[in-house]
A = this chain, B = another copy of it.
Amino acid sequence: MAGIRERARAEHTAEIVRLARVQVEREGASSLSLRAIARELGMVSSAIYRYFASRDELLTKLIIDSYDRLGEEVEAADAGVRRRTDFLGRWRAMSHAIRQWALAHPAEYALLFGTPVPGYAAPQDTIGPASRYTIVLIRLIVEMEGAGHRSADKVPVALRRDYARFRQRFDVAASDAMLMGGMAAWANMMGAINLELFGHLYNVIDTPGALFEAVVAQQGRLLVSGTAPPPGTSKRA
């Protein structure tokens, strides 16, 4: 009952995670130190291992949380667009939500989308949260096509199998062409954010926000560039 110990455990765990995130945000994931956390907590370093089996496990927890927060942001951004048929508006809102979150939490963004440490295989528990923000994007793509929009992207034959599996896994009925357009848009947007966040626009583009906006607009246009015969939709590129 109540569980004096249970409560203490929950609190300590939360506190460790909180301090870890602060540390990551401040000095980067590479210099996250369990000992430093223990010190700040007034614990001895070995005590931390009662809560996390290893540094990697703590990092995994941080990754999961970050994916969740990002997903939340993107969902909120999408939900914030009143006219649900304003697909370009929704696309812009989501994209900017991702970028804004990245700018606000660069180290967490790097944790998710930066260098993976060789050999580190993302545990199963990360893939759920990891797909959360993408699901919002997928839903948009599907609704766009449902409304008659269609990407004009050409689909390489080699990708048909991937897209077929994709439809099955996410239980959506988007055409290959639309999925193609979505992947391209996704890659392009993430690419722009990466370049900015990882410093490759430094001293080249002073207004990365404008570049991002242009890139997002370009992909948005492409997503609705195909023949858009309103209601009845069929498959096929």
Q: Return the contact of A162 from the options B117, B183, B205 (Cβ within 8 A).
A: B205
- With a cutoff of 8 Å between Cβ atoms, the chain B residues found around residue A49 in the complex are none
- Report the interface size for chain A: residues with CB under 8 A from the other chain: 56
Residue of B nearest to A31 (CB): B117
Q: Is A215 an interface residue (CB 8 A)?
A: yes
Q: Spot the interface stretch: A39-47, A83-91, A95-103, A190-198.
A: A190-198
Judging by beta carbons under 8 Å apart, are B162 and A214 in contact? no
Separation of A190 and B193 alpha carbons in the complex (Å): 11
Q: Is A57 an interface residue (CB 8 A)?
A: no
Q: Is A64 an interface residue (CB 8 A)?
A: no
Judging by beta carbons under 8 Å apart, are B115 and A115 in contact? yes
Q: Return the contact of A191 from the options B154, B190, B199 (Cβ within 8 A).
A: B190
Q: Spot the interface stretch: A1-9, A10-18, A73-81, A106-114.
A: A106-114
Q: Is A53 an interface residue (CB 8 A)?
A: no
- With a cutoff of 8 Å between Cβ atoms, the chain B residues found around residue A159 in the complex are 205, 207, 210-211, 214
- With a cutoff of 8 Å between Cβ atoms, the chain B residues found around residue A122 in the complex are 199
How many Å from the CB of A153 to the closest CB on chain B?
A: 6
Q: Would you list which residues of chain A between 132 and 173 have a CB under 8 Å from chain B?
A: 153-159, 161-162, 166
How many Å from the CB of A98 to the closest CB on chain B?
A: 12
Q: Return the contact of A183 from the options B161, B184, B187, B211 (Cβ within 8 A).
A: B211
14 further A-B contacts with Cβ under 8 Å, apart from A161-B206, A183-B205, A183-B211, are A27-B118, A28-B119, A106-B118, A110-B115, A113-B200, A115-B198, A122-B199, A154-B217, A159-B207, A184-B214, A186-B195, A187-B211, A188-B191, A189-B191
